[in-house]
Structure 1
Amino acid sequence: MSSVMDILLVEDETEVLEGICLALRQLVADTCRIYAVGNAEDAREILQAIRPRVIVTDIVLPGMSGLELLEEVRTIPGYSPKTIVISSYNEFAYAQQSLRLGALDYVLKPFDKSEFIQKIAGVLELIEGEDRKISELQHQIEHSRMGTKVLMDQYILSFCTKKTHLQEHIYHRLQLWNLTWLTTTPYRLFAFGLHGDAHGRDKEVELQLFAVSNVAAETLQRFPPSYLLKNVHNRWIVITAYPDAEQIMEDIRDNVRKFQRQELFFGASATMFSFQSLSDAYDQAIQALRWAFANRSPLLFYSDISEGRGENMSGDADADCVSMLMNGDSEGIEAVVGRKIDNMVRFTHVQHRKQLAQSCLDWIIAVQALLNEKTGFQMDQIPLSLWEKLEQCATMEEIKRELTGYYVALSSKIASDLPVMSNAIIEQAKAIIAEESHGELSLNRLAERLAIHPVWLSHLFKKETGQNFSDYMIDLKIDNAKKLLRESSLKIYEIAAKIGYQDLQHFGKIFKKRTGMSPKEFRYGK
């Protein structure tokens, strides 16, 4: 045992209690203090004086029961001993209550003394293991409080990834780390990474990253005040108040090229003037770095990619692309492709060209699925050659051209195939309407039967018939009503109900609006 531990035994059978004590003393020698009592009241006194780490108690005791004693133990703040319950009763309710009170074991009498002692030995080992973990954790916490670089990096990175307002405790920590210049001086943030990322075996990659970190850190010593850290994607982050950030980036790039023969790419934020803008600076630098990788530009400032593009370029690219495909709008296709690729690079974790190519193919699948949902138009499989071409593209502009070319060709195919399909769909729709003209057929229900999107069905209906769906349905019902008014002896309210109008007054208004006469006037030719 690493330290003296207190064990409390509560058992009213003297022989059993003495037997456990004797065996337990042989097990623990001088490493534990054993307190043995015959009732819960004496046990409570011991609990008030000390806090035993282990409690072994019988259930049936004079006065207060062992379970009632454990109930009291649970109310003591910050105290959670390991407990074992012993009992002469093999009742599930007792066992269940014991476990609910936190007991590690429920032992039935009579029991084998050596096996029982081994159970206690297991509990002591469990406590030792937990104490060891707590000690290690406390050591780590204590070590962290000393202000290690790892802890500093974690804190600063958290401020970069989540907008944080300057609070007193944060300011004190920045003070401890000599970083208060982040709260008083204009600064920039730039991110950089290896061209094509580090490659090789894990150990080799670690050495490459370690070497680059050392060169960058040594270079930064000449440009105070600056701070260097690395994020989870192996991108280095530099926050600096040095006036010439571009000079810092060029020196780091040149030194890494000279000493490590590695190529770096950089993305830099705009100048920031407040601590809480760290997250904005980080987002800008990461976006600029992605752009630098995608375009093979060694150094890009955020302003280089944001000017003329706007901050909110997302929109609904899938729906926009489908609309352009259906309308045969080549210029619109080119614009939406450009916007989508820009956003992929700026706002997603695309790290290299293969990932960008895969993202483009994922987008094509999403667009074709939406096109199929809206129109029922069946797409061919994406050709493997397109994937190969996208992976071979050296710049974003080449990727945009390949993707635009694919969509323009797809739009031409739609333009040639869709009219025939559209006419067939509307003819099928008319047939269904004719079958159910006396019921309550809705556009959504009709679209469901035709397996196409309601919005697209509405568009096709208007295009092919010159009427929207609701007007077509009303005209059809009024035609049926006119026929019934002239050729049957049904009462007007019966005719209204037969064609789907339960409200006679509403039917009368619709009928007069369409024919210029009331149903009665129409029937008698007035």
Structure 2
Amino acid sequence: MRVKMLIADDEQIIREGILHIVDWSAYNIEIVGAARDGQQARMMYDAHRPEIVMTDIRMPKLDGLELMQHIRCLDEEAKVIVLSGYDEFAYAQQAVRYGAADYLLKPAMPDVLVAKVLEIRDQVSKLQQEREEQRRLHNRLNEGLPLLRERFLRELAAGGIADRSLIEEKARYLQLQLSPTLPCCAIVIDLDGRVTPDPAAHGEASLYAAKAELEEQCGLMGEVFVLSPGQLAWIAQFAELQDGVDSPVLLKQLCSELQSRLAARFQADFSFGIGTRSPDGQSLPASFQSAMAAVKHKTIVGLGAIILADELTQPQDGAAACPEPSEPELLKAMREGDRDGIAAAVRQALSPALQRNEVDYAVLLGMKLIDHVSREWGGLASGRKEGPLTEYELWQQLKRQQTLPDIAAELTRLLQEIAAHRLEGEHGEAGQQRWVGQIIAHLQEHYQEPLSLKRLSEMVFLSPNYICSLFKEETGQTISDYLTRLRIDRAKRLLSEHGIKVYEVANAVGYTDSRYFNKVFKKYTGMNLSEYRSLRSDTF
């Protein structure tokens, strides 16, 4: 590394001699100035901040000792070599007091002077290298600090650290907002995966984005970290938790607010499991275990739930087994097109799985129902162009569901679809027209809402693919095109009204992005929203 040096002496011959005694640049030394007095030397030092200063003692305007005082005020580590013709102990003593690196008497031998400067240069270079190494180590530590924090917090959650003093020491070293002496509570947050079509909202990126959002909202109320893939954890710790009676209510309220913020930003479901209150950091693992058990109950109550561990009821040993599903009643409901009866039969069939809180068991019970229907009806025709549904396809559809309510809803929809197709064969085109009419009525009433094929399929009990082909066959246009034209017609009416802004029109017909709706409007009408409004104004 190059080292900068400043020369200060009121004798020109001395200054010139030092400047040209050697080629300083060959030794990685840059001469930033040669001052003729102390005042000029101070100005040069302020401008360049050299690591080495070689100065005389007796100089006009500002002497060498005063210059050293000024330098020490700005940089305690700058190296000052005093070069003086005064062999007096008082001067040397004062120079040492101001931190002089060395004191040389004039006339100094060239080789002695150069050797001293190079010695000081080596000291400065070593110090610079040490600082650079410290900076690199500090940067590496800062880069790795988030990972170290996550590892420590996961270990703490798993009960891998029991020593209270060690918890306090590590928390302080990792700069965590945790105190082993204050009560806390573990909260487990599941990203349930029902995310909008935005690809950036999926996977690990969305998990860490959600973590950043939680950290911003939670502030100094504990620590947030990634517990496992698709799962975050929050160690909540703040003064209000000292009240053990009101803390569950407060935590549930806080989680509800956080859930709303996360859902609004990511358009996704987040389930919260709130563990039992821990009086100190040592009992935190038990709080985490209860939080994990709580969040698993989303498979019973549905995704996007907030569940308090204190509110969970433990199953009783020897509980009476739920009755077997009444398969004849299911077939009767399906033959009659009784949708409520089908839903009731499905609930009865899945009740043992609900009691045991086992998703896989629910799938097994659902396949038992499907097998019975298939045997009784000689197949599982559902109106698909691809042909009858296979049991493997039905099993796959059920396995994709994440909760017991989802499995019940999907199984009910599938059986209702099969029943509807059977009735369709009995009633012909009248049934198809009735279903299309239901879809059109729904779109006309809910055109401001996002299009959901799943919702339409559940409404008429047919698969999304089938209702799309059926709608196109009956109307000559796709459901999406029909909805777009419906929205444009509604927008035309609104544009005829005075006082409503263009972006308000877009919002009123279901578009959050007014610029995008402007393009859609122009595609279908040949004019943008403003042009259409102007035309209507001129007409009337």
TM-score by length of structure 2 reads 0.34
